[in-house]
A and B are shown apart, each in its own frame.
Chain A
């Protein structure tokens, strides 16, 4: 057992036939909440882990239920705070710091890891029963009947949400259709948006550099401060397109027409672009058809492409559907962006003519 790894949320040890087992404190403290908030913004994301292995909650004996979870600290915290006043065992699988559903999709929360972990831990010496409770969202990675063949333990699938575990245990390990259904509430969508925005900031940087360089090339001569000022104001329509794809489409998802995410992004992007066209001069762009056409193509491409990206975070899009719209959208958006940049450059060249 890995006693060398000290976690501040371990508050004691339980003696078992396989040695001392760490006991989990089920109350989250400020540090858990702050770390959890930061990781939603991608801060410390790849070291936010729990050491895999067996843990105790309360004072479990050999008849206590056994739960399984992933070793992403955020997942682990969401689970443990629901386990107050319970006496049970928790097996943390090594999912490389990834949540249950995503790890199951990749196979790290899977038949092999679960079977090997049960056998290596000698779980059969800790509990006298032969049932383990796996979260339902682990099912894409776990073949229950194969785990049973490998270990002798029967798999029961528990609820999707940790908040339903208490009721599930009280119900004699039965899930209701409500407990089994994955939802995608406004709050669910909102907490995902920081990690839509942050990885896509690179596109904003590219756009800003492009606008800045184009503004530097000025027939009236070089003026650094003015170039910065004009570029920042030029940038506002692009910031809008960025927020449409990464924030507003996720938030307003059920209210925007079309099933395709790309079409949802194009819809909001088109509304924003029409506003931009109306007040082109407010953003300090020259009164030029070429510039307006170039910006229009770029704004539509950005909002469409970033909205399409959100399929990767959604809880209901199929691979077949995502592939279908990606194959159509990405080449069109890429081509439109290249033409858009070409028009902005052409307008600049004509200015010198």
Chain B
């Protein structure tokens, strides 16, 4: 039997919170009854309200994190939904296998990665998380249902589907063979926006990402560091014990002068002619996981992350957005620019061919105004917003950005007719017709 506990559940940005009853089952047999009642959540790495259900119930899946089967011939691993992706890296990289797509945090669970169809620094080559799954087990109205890429509409509605097509209980990943246990990383300065895009466009590397200095303006607008990486054999020092942020930081911690100074130092740490170094896998894929609870650096009010993608031809629109962000001086040091490959046709998956920009903004009234303006500019450019990051969008805008929303809704209504899996995000964006 599983009990329920009252908990204040927040998104990773800590700007949104909800009072929920949370269960944490530890065996699969404990699941079907529960699934009738509530949405599932993992390690709560979505920034906004995707994993929140104010006044309702939630099923915390982190107690269901077992490896169910592994085929060493082809690198297929079936896991329970609560398995963190970082654990798979730790266990299988030494045996020559790596999850084909990894998001920026190893704490993200497989269930969450399915529900958001997450992407990584290799999106332009590898697509998104769902492109490397062979099956998913959903629990729909108390009954287990195994789906595969051949299942058609329900598969497309489940990847990136915000957990609304049934409780995501298990999934099988097709990992990729790797010879190395380290990353060979080349870092290069990009002096401005044009050079930044040129470096991203011309890169042939498997993993490519740009760090962008959102405080640089004028002729330096868009400056940053482009990081290209390949897996490499090699030894790296053993991992250090993670550090923690023991308290909520004061508001000054990320004030504009501090961020400007930090960014300048971060930029010049890479020599003008670039440099190449060997990094451990986790340091490359999950750079912030070394500091537990880093979201507390933003203080009690938390923060928002703005992430959009715009078509390649709309790079100028993205530049205009960056200019706007830079001129307000609100951005934190965490800002990323990346070129994405084509989308995969899943109904609510975020990636599409183009450039994606992600920027963290401390939660202040002016941040909400800025984000509203950026959302409008994204819509104007024919781009879209990443729901894993969103806490502020308007439903009509999101539906226009995701033209397959109606197809998704059709599958969701069949899978969960009573709307029991709806979350705060679903209600805020009015993504479902709820009783």
Chains A and B are bound partners = no
